[in-house]
Amino acid sequence: MSDSKALLYQAWARLHLLQGVYSLFDYALPTLETIEEERYETLSGNKRDDLVDDIIILRSDIKCLPVTLHQIDFDEATSNHDVGRLINAFDSLLGLFEESMRDLTGIEVDTKVPQDIECIDLFPKLVTLRNLRRGHGNKLSTDILPPVAPDNNTMPKGKTPASTLDKFRCYVTFPPPQMAISKCRSIVESFLKVVRDVFSNEVRQWNAESLLREVTKIEIDSIRDASEFSRASSSLFQLLIGCITCEAEHVARLHLSGFYTGQLEMLLGTGEHDWMPASFIHSPIPTSTERRFKHIMCSHLTSAEYCNQTIHGCFDKSTVWEDGTLKPAQYNLSTASIFWSTLDDILGGGQSQLKCSTSIMTRRLDQIGRKIVGLLLACSLFQLCGSPWLQHGFEREKIHILPNNSSLNLLEYWRPHISCDLSLDRDQRSLSEDVAALGVLILELEANLSAGWTDDDEDYETGTKSNRTRLSRILKQWRGDVTDFYYGIGSACFRFENLVEDFDHPKIEQSLKSLTILYKCIVNPLYQKLVSDFGFTERLFGGVSGLSVPSRQKKVPATPPLVLYDDLESREPDKKSEYAEELIATLENGFLRNIKLLRDNSTPVGLAERCKGINTPERVRIAVLDTGINTNDKMIRSATSRIKGRRSWVGSIEDTYGHGTHVTRLLLQMAPAAEIFIAKISDCKTVEPENMTRIAQAIDWAVEECKVDIISMSFGFQTKSKDIDDAIERAFRADKLMFAAASNEGGNKPRSRPGRNKKVICIHACDGKGNKGDMNPSPVRGYNFTTLGVAVKSTWNKQVVYKSGTSFATPVAAAFAADILEFANFRCELSEEDRKLLYKRDGMLEVLRVISRERDKYDYIQPGHLWDGNDDGRIIRAIQEAIADS
Q: Is the pLDDT of residue 359 over 50?
A: no
Q: Is the pLDDT of residue 559 over 70?
A: no
pLDDT at 393: 77
Give me the helices (H) in 73-159, please: 80-99, 116-122, 124-134
> Which band of pLDDT confidence, cut at 50, 70 and 90, is reported for residue 860?
very high
Highest mean pLDDT among 60-74, 119-133, 536-550, 751-765: 751-765
| More reliable by pLDDT, 410 or 306 | 410
Please state the φ and ψ torsions of residue 3, each to the nearest 5 degrees: -60, -40
Distances (CA, A) of 808 to 62, 220, 533, 792, 801: 43, 43, 25, 8, 13
Instruction: Answer for the pair 644, 732: CB distance below 8 angstroms, yes or no.
Output: no
pLDDT at 465: 86
183 SS3 class: helix
Q: Is 285 exposed, middle or buried (0-12, 13-18, 19+ CB in 10 A)?
A: exposed
Q: Is the pLDDT of residue 135 over 60?
A: no
pLDDT at 156: 35
> Which band of pLDDT confidence, cut at 50, 70 and 90, is reported for residue 21?
confident
Instruction: Answer for the pair 94, 190: CB distance below 8 angstroms, yes or no.
Output: no
pLDDT at 495: 84
Which of 518-552 are b and which e, b meaning 16 or more Cβ less than 10 Å from the residue's Cβ?
A: bbbbbbbbbbebbbeeeeebbebbeebbbbbebee
- Range list of β-strands (E), 734-798: 737-741, 761-766, 785-788, 792-796
Q: Which has the minimum average pLDDT: 42-46, 104-108, 610-614, 852-856?
A: 42-46
| More reliable by pLDDT, 13 or 118 | 13
Alpha-carbon distance 347 to 397, whole Å? 10
- Is residue 278 within a helix (H) or strand (E), and if so which, with residue range? strand 276-282
pLDDT at 762: 97
Q: Is the pLDDT of residue 646 over 90?
A: yes
Instruction: Answer for the pair 689, 835: CB distance below 8 angstroms, yes or no.
Output: no
Average pLDDT over residues 628-649: 91
| More reliable by pLDDT, 410 or 307 | 410
Name 484's bridge partners.
none
Alpha-carbon distance 662 to 669, whole Å? 11
CATH of domain 568-603+618-885: 3.40.50.200
252 SS3 class: strand
Evaluated on CA atoms 768, 770, 775, 780, the torsion sign reads positive
Over residues 183-196, the pLDDT tens digits come to: 888 888 888 888 87
Alpha-carbon distance 99 to 411, whole Å? 57
pLDDT at 407: 57
> Which band of pLDDT confidence, cut at 50, 70 and 90, is reported for residue 609?
low
Apex CA 662: angle with CA 657 and CA 668, to 5°?
A: 140
> Which band of pLDDT confidence, cut at 50, 70 and 90, is reported for residue 668?
very high
Name 648's bridge partners.
680
Domain with CATH 3.40.50.200 in the chain: 568-603+618-885
Distances (CA, A) of 446 to 258, 287, 400, 561, 618: 19, 46, 18, 28, 47
> Which band of pLDDT confidence, cut at 50, 70 and 90, is reported for residue 450?
confident
Cα–Cα nearest to 627, from 650, 643, 607: 650
Q: Is the pLDDT of residue 553 over 70?
A: no
Identity (one letter) of the amino acid at 589?
Answer: N
Decide the pairing of beta strands 399-401 and 416-421. Answer: antiparallel
Instruction: Answer for the pair 598, 826: CB distance below 8 angstroms, yes or no.
Output: yes
Name 321's bridge partners.
292, 314
Q: Is the pLDDT of residue 848 over 90?
A: yes
Decide the pairing of beta strands 799-804 and 568-570. Answer: antiparallel
Alpha-carbon distance 50 to 713, whole Å? 39
Three-state helix/strand/coil letters over 529-585: HHHHHCHHHHHHHCCCCCCCCCCCCCCCCCCCCEECCCCEEECCCCHHHHHHHHHHH
Cα–Cα nearest to 466, from 7, 23, 14: 23
> Which band of pLDDT confidence, cut at 50, 70 and 90, is reported for residue 154?
very low
pLDDT at 621: 97
Distances (CA, A) of 404 to 308, 361, 381, 574: 14, 11, 22, 49
Average pLDDT over residues 146-151: 40
CA contacts within 13 A on the Cβ side of 87: 18
pLDDT at 452: 85
pLDDT at 348: 64
Over residues 769-819, the pLDDT tens digits come to: 999 999 999 999 889 999 999 999 999 988 899 999 999 999 999 999 999
pTM of the model: 0.47
Instruction: Answer for the pair 562, 689: CB distance below 8 angstroms, yes or no.
Output: yes
Catalytic residue IDs: 626, 659, 807
Q: Is 283 exposed, middle or buried (0-12, 13-18, 19+ CB in 10 A)?
A: middle
| More reliable by pLDDT, 27 or 224 | 224
Q: Which has the minimum average pLDDT: 284-293, 832-841, 861-870?
A: 284-293
Highest mean pLDDT among 168-182, 590-604, 606-620, 707-721: 707-721
Decide the pairing of beta strands 710-713 and 737-741. Answer: parallel
Instruction: Answer for the pair 278, 265: CB distance below 8 angstroms, yes or no.
Output: yes
Question: How many C-beta atoms surround the C-beta of residue 737 within 10 A?
Answer: 26
Task: State CA 869 to chain mean position distance.
Answer: 45
Alpha-carbon distance 599 to 250, whole Å? 79
Average pLDDT over residues 2-25: 77
Q: Which has the minimum average pLDDT: 59-73, 448-462, 469-483?
A: 59-73
Alpha-carbon distance 760 to 738, whole Å? 5
Name 686's bridge partners.
563
740 SS3 class: strand
| More reliable by pLDDT, 456 or 542 | 456
- Is residue 416 within a helix (H) or strand (E), and if so which, with residue range? strand 416-421
Q: Is the pLDDT of residue 547 over 50?
A: no
pLDDT at 455: 85
401 SS3 class: strand
Report the mean per-residue pLDDT for the chain.
Answer: 78
Q: Is the pLDDT of residue 100 over 70?
A: yes
Alpha-carbon distance 861 to 763, whole Å? 10
